[in-house]
Structure 1
Amino acid sequence: MIANQPQKTAAKSATSRATAGAEPSRRFCVAPMMDWTTSHYRYLARMLSRHTLLYTEMVTTGALIHGDTERFLRHNEAEYPLALQLGGSDARELAHCAALAERFGFDEVNLNVGCPSDRVQNNMIGACLMGHPDKVADGVRAMIEATDLPVTVKHRIGIDGRESWEELCEFVEKVADAGCRTFIAHARIAILDGLSPKENREIPPLKYDWVYGLKEKYPDLEIIINGGIKTFDECHQHLAHTDGVMLGREAYHNPWLLAGVDQVFFGDTPAATSRHDALRAMFPFIESELARGVYLGHMTRHLLGLFHGQPGGRRFRRHISENAHRPGAGLEVVEQALAMVPEQAAEETAPSGHAMA
């Protein structure tokens, strides 16, 4: 069963819940991922977990200031707690966009200092900012002055040419002096010259001990660890040394993993008792999105991993893949695909340890 299914779309007049109370818990988070952590994926994630902190895809300050602001910041209240991730480096622009985050009802605003792609480097966005800690500090300071939301930074542990422990500590100290209290550390350096973003997620070695070292050296800061985490057992190991964990691709490709988060990490009852129930709880949302002209395939591409490893799961994925793109495709495509998965097989205990196969 699903405990809560609010349907109201957050508007620009919304008041952030974070400004009215405590900060969202970062004990368990899903990482911002371009083209993946869209509003449609986040709605599914929220049907599976009430407490997981969700992040938007990175949105650049230029897109928000010069583009369709309402479209970029549109989200559903069911997605809360929800953080907006910004990409940018100009302090005034970051301040303006941080104020927008509060105005649109987000719970946190996060600065991307970790994306290694050439495209964002050319605009002084992402991991290249690890080489400019003073610029990051200026941006964070301006954001903090512009909003009552918590301002956080997601970063690498270094970049090529600036990859020593001392330089990582210099970065953290300068940004902390600007007022940032929460650092989400991807436990790899980013190699900006010669590796693709995909290679940057795989080739540089993980150095979890460096992230542990940040928490030990700066106990008053909140340190969240990210990078290569796949199972709850691994999460528990990291939580012995840090304040929270952030999962990325595993939470996307294997979304049912999130169904165990509320019980395992927050001591609450599960939000969903079966994959069927979680998907059915999305039906009103899917219908409302279709009514405003959203293409069914834009939503269903995020559902393909829900029945991974389950009897009928392959037929579920095939039916959606072959039919969601057809002109006029509607909710019936999802209903037909769901009927191909034996419901008895899908009734299961939410994951409590290893990631589900």
Structure 2
Amino acid sequence: MYRLVPCMALCALFLITSCTKTTKPADNQNGSTETERKDDQILAEVNGLPIYLSDYRKKFSRSARYNPEKYKEAEARRELLDDLVEFELLYKEARAKKIEETEQIKRMMVRALLRQEVNVTPKVTNEELKAYYDAHPEEFQEIRASHILLKNRPQKDDAATGKPEEYQQAQRAKAEKILAELKAGKDFAQLAQEHSEDTTAKNGGDLSFFTAKKMVEPFAEAAFALKEIGDLSDLVETRFGFHIIKLTDRRIQEFDKVKGVIKNNLMKTKRNEAHDAYLTKLKAQASITVNEQRYEELVKNLGSGGPEAGKQLQPMGQGHPMEEGVHDQSMQPEGDDLPTGKREPIEGTPANQGE
């Protein structure tokens, strides 16, 4: 019998507490009692086992809490149902593999199954690493640039008066004047020292080398679009303010510097592929039915004020630390990173900044 070795102490506690509980109505696969399910409706079945509307509502509520915009899309909502189906498949497979079970560690059992069947350490050869590096030089490009920043909203200690819109217009006008002076031949470093409101002003606006993933998207897009050393960008607006960017150098990161990140990402890709293949196999062997009419009625009511609206189907707001935009406010890049652009599923280290 397989055991959840990394969690033995926790599992033992769960086993003790579950054994000392008084008798209660029989539980179903989704953790609710038959009494609680009495008035629930079946949304789908996996090998004859039900997935209820309440299961979907709970999953929607948890997921939409952190990304409300995503779960306005029909495809994302359908993916939640697919997740419930896949979870039941994996749970049943875990039981079939005789992985030790208590109700409280049902999710641990699924993870144990995946560790046993899927999450082996994939082999990645040095040849594969070099092949990926050679095939995607744009992902390993670094540039060096300087910038002049004029903030687009007043700071708390700012002596400026007037409405924020007026302040923003004045800052834009000032930035456009500086850009005109640069195009007329004035020294970039000198104007950065005189006018930039970023901490890099004392260094003439120098940001040193950075990858695209290190900067907010509008800034990175404009900076990496510059072709020749010495080229100037037009005015670029980000959440930090108005930027003028000058390209000062360009290079490709050395293979030895980035091969560790490439290896981690290729291993992750191989694990994802193995995970998908395993689920595809389980689905092919399973009998899965979905009550499409009931599903359509359910999703139609999401956000429409219908009868499902009062059952925690609404997104629960924004501002969770995992959402985009909740980041450090410094424009200075820190550390090394592997740029990856929009390629999936290869990912580098998360950017220090994102917009």
Superposed pair shares fold, TM > 0.5 = no
Greater C-alpha Rg: 2
TM norm structure 2: 0.18
TM norm structure 1: 0.18
